[in-house]
Amino acid sequence: MSIELSKIYDPSNVEQRWYTQWLADKIFASSPSEKQPYSILMPPPNVTGILHLGHVLNHTIQDLYIRWHRMLGFETCWFPGIDHAGISTQTKVEQALRKDGITKHDLGREKFEQKVWEWKDKYGTIILNQFQKIGNSSDWDRTLFTLDKGASNAVQEVFIRLFDEGLIYRGKRIINWSPVAQSALSDEEVIPQTTTSTFYTLKYHFADGTGTLLVGTVRPETLYGDVAVAVNPNDERYKDIIGKSVIVPMVGVVVPIIADEYVEIDFGTGALKITPAHDINDYEIGIRHNLPINNTINADGTLNELTGEWQGLDRFVARKQIVERLESLGLIEKAEPYEHTIGTSERTGEPIEPFLSDQWFVSMKQLAEPALMVVQNGDIKFYPNHWTKTYEHWLNNIKDWCISRQLWWGHRIPVYYTDNGQYVAANNEAEARKKLQLSDNAPLRQDEDVLDTWFSSWLWPLTTMGWCADGTTEETKDLNYYLPTDLLVTAPEIIFLWVARMIMASLKFKGKIPFKAVYFTAIVRDHHGRKMSKSLGNSPDPLKIFEKYGADATRFTLMYQAPLGQDIRMQVDLESQDLPEIEFGRNFANKLWNTARFLMMKQSELEPKSESSSYSYSLADKWIVSSFHTTAQQVRMLLEQFRITDYSKLLYEFIWQDFCSWYVEIVKIQLNQAQNTSEKHSIMNIALEVFEGSLQLLHPVMPFITEEIWHALDERRTNEHSISTSTPIAPDTQQISQDVEDQFQFIQTIVEQIRTIRSSVGIAPQEKVPVSIVPASNDIASILTNNMQVIKNLAKCTELQIDSTLEKPSGSIAVAVKGSTVYVLVGNSINIDEEIKRQEKEFQRLEQLTNGIEKKLSNERFVEKAPKEVIENERTKLRDMRNSMETITSTIQSLRM
């Protein structure tokens, strides 16, 4: 495909065209082969999901590794899919129905499920289409939905096996309850939030009339569930009242005072009201003391019939009215603000309600032990490693997993009940009757609840590869070839919800780890440090960012700013919902584009190569080749170590600075000096080979523009139809020479010092001045002589004199470079006396500023109270100013000599 590069880079045209071509060429398709496999599991987004910057960061990392290993010759497979997202999907559909005045109960279960499937078919692929805009090179033909028949069969099989082993059981427990969704939530689906409530100290009068016990609570609406008051047996204040009884204020019920070491002596009054149905800790105390359990709150968050006149009131409305009644009865000793943490629903946002309910649980301890071992022994590695401690702590203190949800959308629990209370897990009614030894017409009913969404997600490494897709087949070609996968890229907040459970499931049902490495991504925050979110209005739409800057520019900027283990902070323009920092990536893309156009122009200007002659590499040629191979070597090392930001910075520095700013400028000089067409072809070949090699190294993070430029240079292509399937130039240590790189760095320093002196005295960029150099040795003199034309052109010299016997010329400024002395003759370009005055004035200005900063930094109160970044910024400014003052002193001394 021959492509002509337009004058201005237009990413919208390039990106859509190439993605369509990649799909048509099936470059992303994968199947077991003779190659070494490399695979990644895509964290399945919710079917309700919309693209955000966290997705862009996460998927760019995954895509980077898939593309890199595809280029290295691996059989790469990125397994995509979508999660059915039980609560959030059902909530969305119910909201849509309510607009038409319909509830799910009006439709019934079967018709409601049909409505959800219709919604999924209409909206469910939006997020995957958005992922394609990022540039995801996933094998889309393998896309799995967690409610697909194959995945559902596997989920059912796992439930039945664990049930039969006794690892799934039904029990009455205090669980996290969402009154809005009217469903149980796992601990990991509860988000802790700090809030300020009122802490009420209530009067519990002794039943025998001998006094009053003060008891604190933030939930007076649960008074009707009180069954005891507990004190710590070691609390000297209350030793004599243990065993006595008190009257629950307003309710009038008499309850005992019990002793339990759970009670904190120093918290509140040291006396704790016990409501086992409405607090997990109270529940545990109730079990220990064989107390009754009185549930006083309905599933919808209203108070029930046990609360008398308050029945039917929302829990928070009832709290307010009950407080008013308690105040009127004189039963509140005091009320004061109290900051504490409450649990809120991850999906619906409301405060969760501890709720006593019959639920299904997975016994986790037996599953957790091997999952802990494979991380501790290094079979699975975490990046950054500090998440290992978090993982270990959770698994060592693991609780059983509540897996039942009171929903209609999801995997229905495969448990069947008889009329007399027997139940069994089975694939269908016929199997259930057989297991229960019932007649063929014996009545059965299936459990109404569905499984926690994560119960299907924890099988993701298995279901994506066909495990038990038909309900029985456990060995598949994909499982034998791709498992364990090589990398999982995910957010640290689901290390328990998903990562740990996948490890458990894969070990339990396949005897293999699911992945070899886990990369935990950073959080994308705004410049105030707040996590970007739609609710805060500080999360720009990535698709609009792509439209303005391009996906490549966005990908590169995020990678450049995402050091392993550190969050990303980005400036957000709230008014325009823009991310100006992406300009950085767009500028880099433009630099690539313009460099490619320049090289193509120079190549097209060459006459056909007629004669053959040998070409001796210049120092600059040797340096760029050595530097390229050093870069290629470091790229491999950095990617192996998951140092993605360092990888991005390395390529940015090499391409922008070494290649574009230095070598391309030298190519212009060398082409002008070339003796014949053959030499010009040799010069261009070196430049193009290094540039193409750089495009290959950059392709994983900037796939679209590198593909476009690669094809624009296609007269150099053979049978390679995509850069993504080309083999990167392997690092060649024979081509790496530290001596060459040191020599060229010396030339660079000479040029940079001359430029600095010119700038410091205000010489115009295009004005040329004479320069003289006193070399430190004969070897240095030889290096300078051989590169005289490079120095003259790049440093804008009218003439360049290299002489070891030279004295300091009049009107020159001197600078030492590694033992050699460089004299820049500025006397003919400036008024020396006036320049000395200007420099002295600038020195005085900087001196005043440094005095001010030094005074500020010596102020202990400032150092103690100011943010660290402010202090560091002041120190950096002070350091820079002192360096400038030293330069000015040196300049003045030179001008006076």
Q: How far apart are CA 680 and CA 688, in angstroms?
A: 12
DSSP string, 596-655: HHHHHHHHHHSPP--S----PPPHHHHHHHHHHHHHHHHHHHHHHTT-HHHHHHHHHIII
Instruction: Locate the DSSP E strands across 346-474.
Output: 353-362, 381-383, 401-402, 404-405, 415-417, 423-425, 445-446, 450-451
Can you give the pLDDT at residue 562?
A: 84
Mean local confidence (pLDDT), 43-65: 92
Cβ 513 vs Cβ 484: under 8 Å: yes
Q: How confident is the model at residue 816 (pLDDT cuts 50, 70, 90)?
A: confident
Cβ 266 vs Cβ 216: under 8 Å: no
> How, if at all, do strands 190-206 and 245-247 pair?
antiparallel
Q: 472 has which bridge partners? A: none
Mean local confidence (pLDDT), 101-129: 91
Count CA atoms within 13 Å of residue 343 on its CB side: 18
Cβ 201 vs Cβ 269: under 8 Å: yes
Q: Dig out the tokens for 28 from the structure.
A: 């992303």
Question: Coil, strand or helix: which one is 743?
Answer: helix
Q: How far apart are CA 556 and CA 553, in angstroms?
A: 5
Mean local confidence (pLDDT), 395-413: 93
Can you give the pLDDT at residue 845?
A: 84
Q: C-alpha distances in angstroms, 345 versus 18, 176, 604, 624?
A: 42, 9, 64, 57
Give kind and range of the element (H or E) at residue 435: helix 429-436
Is residue 427's pLDDT more than 50?
yes
Model pLDDT for residues 381-403, shown as the tens digit of each residue: 999 999 999 999 999 999 899 89
At a CB cut-off of 8 Å and minimum separation 6, what does 355 contact?
174, 175, 176, 177, 184, 277, 278, 295, 297, 299
Residues 856-859: contacts with CB within 8 Å, 24+ apart? none
Q: How confident is the model at residue 2 (pLDDT cuts 50, 70, 90)?
A: low
Is residue 716's pLDDT more than 90?
no
Q: How confident is the model at residue 830 (pLDDT cuts 50, 70, 90)?
A: low
Cβ 270 vs Cβ 231: under 8 Å: yes
Q: pTM value?
A: 0.84
Distance of CA 159 to the CA centre of its chain: 32
Is residue 719's pLDDT more than 90?
no
Can you give the pLDDT at residue 28?
A: 97
Amino acid identity, residue 453? T
Q: Taking each helix axis from N to C terminus, what angle separates 542-549 and 551-560, rounded to the nearest 10 degrees?
A: 110
Mean local confidence (pLDDT), 591-616: 87
Mean local confidence (pLDDT), 249-274: 94
Mean pLDDT of the chain: 91
Distance of CA 295 to the CA centre of its chain: 42
Q: How far apart are CA 698 and CA 647, in angstroms?
A: 9
C-alpha angle 139-142-148 in degrees, rounded to nearest 5: 150
Residues 325-333: contacts with CB within 8 Å, 24+ apart? 325/250, 326/200, 326/202, 326/220, 326/249, 326/250, 329/249, 329/250, 330/203, 331/202, 331/203, 331/249, 331/250, 332/200, 332/201, 332/202, 332/203, 333/201, 333/202, 333/203, 333/214
Judge residue 330's burial from the number of C-beta atoms within 10 Å of its C-beta, 0-12 exposed, 13-18 middle, 19 or more buried. Answer: exposed
Q: C-alpha distances in angstroms, 488 versus 63, 130, 478, 563, 881?
A: 12, 20, 17, 17, 46
Mean local confidence (pLDDT), 492-498: 90
Model pLDDT for residues 254-266, shown as the tens digit of each residue: 999 999 999 999 8
Mean local confidence (pLDDT), 54-81: 96
- Stretch among 99-108, 304-313, 738-747, 866-875 having the lowest mean pLDDT: 866-875
- Stretch among 155-169, 199-213, 632-646, 865-879 having the lowest mean pLDDT: 865-879
- Stretch among 569-573, 589-593, 727-731, 763-767 having the lowest mean pLDDT: 569-573
Q: Is the peptide bond before 179 cis (omega within 30 degrees of 0)?
A: no
Sequence length of the chain is: 897
Is residue 829's pLDDT more than 80?
no
Can you give the pLDDT at residue 897?
A: 67
Q: What percent of the chain has pLDDT over 70?
A: 98
Can you give the pLDDT at residue 1?
A: 45
Count CA atoms within 13 Å of residue 740 on its CB side: 18
- Stretch among 121-125, 446-450, 886-890 having the lowest mean pLDDT: 886-890
Question: Coil, strand or helix: which one is 155?
Answer: helix
- Tell me phi and psi for residue 714, to 5 degrees: -75, -5
Can you give the pLDDT at residue 444?
A: 95
Greater model confidence, 611 or 495: 495
Q: How confident is the model at residue 740 (pLDDT cuts 50, 70, 90)?
A: very high
Helices of type H across 148-273: 149-164
At a CB cut-off of 8 Å and minimum separation 6, what does 346 contact?
185, 189, 190, 191
Q: Is the peptide bond before 384 cis (omega within 30 degrees of 0)?
A: yes
Amino acid identity, residue 855? K
Can you give the pLDDT at residue 577?
A: 77
Q: Taking each helix axis from N to C terminus, what angle separates 778-786 and 788-795, rounded to the nearest 10 degrees?
A: 60
Highest mean pLDDT among 97-101, 138-142, 812-816: 138-142
Q: Which of 581, 575, 570, 526 is nearest to 548 (CA)?
A: 581
Model pLDDT for residues 692-715, shown as the tens digit of each residue: 999 999 999 999 999 999 999 876
Q: Dig out the tokens for 291 from the structure.
A: 């107390």
Cβ 532 vs Cβ 571: under 8 Å: no
Is residue 512's pLDDT more than 80?
yes
Can you give the pLDDT at residue 860?
A: 84
Q: How far apart are CA 275 and CA 292, in angstroms?
A: 9
Judge residue 821's burial from the number of C-beta atoms within 10 Å of its C-beta, 0-12 exposed, 13-18 middle, 19 or more buried. Answer: middle
Q: C-alpha distances in angstroms, 605 versus 379, 521, 534, 601, 609?
A: 57, 47, 53, 6, 12
Mean local confidence (pLDDT), 335-341: 92
At a CB cut-off of 8 Å and minimum separation 6, what does 577 contact?
540, 541, 544
Is residue 268's pLDDT more than 70?
yes
Is residue 534's pLDDT more than 70?
no
> How, if at all, do strands 37-41 and 75-79 pair?
parallel
Mean local confidence (pLDDT), 775-793: 94
DSSP string, 671-723: HHH-SSHHHHHHHHHHHHHHHHHHHHHHTTTSHHHHHHHHHHTGGG-SS---G
Q: Which of 415, 418, 410 is nearest to 437 (CA)?
A: 418
Can you give the pLDDT at residue 877?
A: 85
Number of neighbouring beta carbons within 10 Å of residue 753: 17
Mean local confidence (pLDDT), 774-791: 94
Mean local confidence (pLDDT), 329-335: 95
Is residue 619's pLDDT more than 90?
yes
> Could you tell me how many helices (H) and strands (E) the chain has, helices first?
30, 29
Mean local confidence (pLDDT), 78-85: 95
